[in-house]
Amino acid sequence: MDLTTTYLGLKLRTPLVPSASPLSEDLDKIKKMEQAGASALVLYSLFEEEIEAVPPECRVGPTAYLEHIAEAKRSVAIPIIASLNCTTLGSWLSYARRIAEAGADALELNIYKIPTRTEVTGNTIENIYIDTVRSVRAATKIPLAVKLSPYFSSFANMAASLNATLRQRPRDWFYRARPS
C-alpha cells in the first residue's frame, strides 16, 4: 500500500510525523521513531522565555538546540522540523534564521500570544500573528508550519488571513489547533 504524502512541500513515505515532545530530545529515541515508521519529526520547541529567564538553568539553550538539529540531521534520513516559540519579533527572526542555517528541513512557528491587557483587541493579537509569520517567511527560505491556539473569534478567518499572507508559497504553511 502506498502511503506517500506531502507535508510542507516535503515528500514523505508515510503521514506519520511525531509532533514536538520530550521524546525528540534524545537522538536514540529519534532513531527509534524513524525505525518505527516516522517519516519526519517535529523537534521539541525552543522557548525564548526559558532562555531569557534564567540562562544557566534553562532546559536547553539556543546553541544546544542548534547543535541538536545538526546531530539529528546526521543521525537519521527523515526530515527534521524545528519548533520555535518567541516573545519578540527580533527573536523570532534571529532564531528562525539560525535554525535554518543549522539545517532544519522546516520550521514550526509555535505562536501563542496570551493577551493580558484589556485594551489589546483581538484584531491586534491576530495582526501580531500575521506580522510574525510574514516576517519569518521573509527571513527564511525553509517551509513553515504555524501552530495556533483555537482561541480566535473566527478561527476560519484567521486561517484564511494566514493563507493570504503566504499566498506566494502556499505549500509552506499549515495550521494545527492546540487541544482545548
> How far is Cα 131 from Cα 92, in angstroms, rounded to an integer?
11
pLDDT on residue 162: 87
Q: Give percent of the chain above pLDDT 90.
A: 65
Residue with cell 518505527: 36
Q: Give percent of the chain above pLDDT 70.
A: 87
pTM of the predicted model, to two decimals? 0.87
Edge to edge, what strands does the sheet with 106-110 contain?
41-47, 80-85, 106-110, 144-148, 175-177
Least confident range of 40-44, 65-69, 113-117? 113-117
164 band by pLDDT with thresholds 50, 70 and 90: confident
pLDDT on residue 114: 79
pLDDT on residue 171: 46
pLDDT on residue 57: 56
pLDDT on residue 59: 62
pLDDT on residue 180: 44
Task: Say if residue 32's pLDDT is above 70.
Answer: yes
pLDDT on residue 65: 93
- DSSP states of 48-103: HHHHHH-GGGSS--HHHHHHHHHHHHHH-SS-EEEEEE-SSHHHHHHHHHHHHHTT
pLDDT on residue 133: 94
> How far is Cα 161 from Cα 148, in angstroms, rounded to an integer?
13
Please compute the mean of the pLDDT values over residues 65-74 and round it to a whole number. Answer: 96
pLDDT on residue 172: 46
Please compute the mean of the pLDDT values over residues 53-70 and round it to a whole number. Answer: 77
Please compute the mean of the pLDDT values over residues 23-29 and round it to a whole number. Answer: 96
pLDDT on residue 149: 81
Residue with cell 539545517: 103
pLDDT on residue 52: 66
> How far is Cα 120 from Cα 104, in angstroms, rounded to an integer?
34
